[in-house]
Amino acid sequence: MWLYRRSILALTGVALAHCSSSSPGGNCYPDNDGINGGSYTVDLVVDDMGFYPGSPDSGDISDDAGMKTVISTQNDAQVTLTLTNKGTTPHGFEVECTNATPSYPVLPAGCSATVCFPGDSTIAPIAPGATTTITFDTPTPDGLLYPFKSSAPGDANVPGLNGADMTAWSLM
């Protein structure tokens, strides 16, 4: 009986190590391109119609408002994100979870098919004219698009602010 219990414990330890190795992502989400890490600075402007890249001092934003935006960084990277609200109401920033199976079609048992950015990547709604900066680490699963949107509840019906209008974070 003692040998049987010891075997079960050993097998449980192997199974847990399978998805929690010391490397980022472990065996759940092996790196797709062999590159990860680095530091990125992302400047993002939001207004009442959508998001666009760049600093608020980059010129007239009226032509750019609501343009489709894809932010590209490496996985397991440190990002410093600055959000400036040029709108007339509060807007925020939040990266939604996504399905990992397009890049990881066969996941080991115990590995989640849903992958998310960390909670500290969210910016609560900020007032018009305000700017805020956060720093966070991107998740491990790469080769995926993670939709992003405004975290302000009132923006859920605005296509350029609700994650449905091709605003996404691409992890390489």
Whether 87 is in a domain gets the answer yes
Q: What is the CATH number of the domain that holds 145?
A: 2.60.40.420
Confirm if 93 and 148 have CB atoms less than 8 A apart. yes
Tens of pLDDT, residues 17-68: 333 333 445 689 998 899 999 999 999 999 999 998 887 665 444 444 444 6
Output the six-digit token pair for 127: 């007032």
Whether 38 is in a domain gets the answer yes
Whether 45 is in a domain gets the answer yes
Number of domains in the chain: 1
**Domain of residue 37, residue span:** 32-171
The helix, strand and coil proportions of the chain, stated in percent and rounded to the nearest 5, come to 15, 30, 55
Whether 50 is in a domain gets the answer yes
Whether 125 is in a domain gets the answer yes
Whether 18 is in a domain gets the answer no
Look up the pTM and report it: 0.79
Confirm if 121 and 96 have CB atoms less than 8 A apart. no
Looking at residue 57, what is its pLDDT? Answer: 64
Residue type at position 56 = P
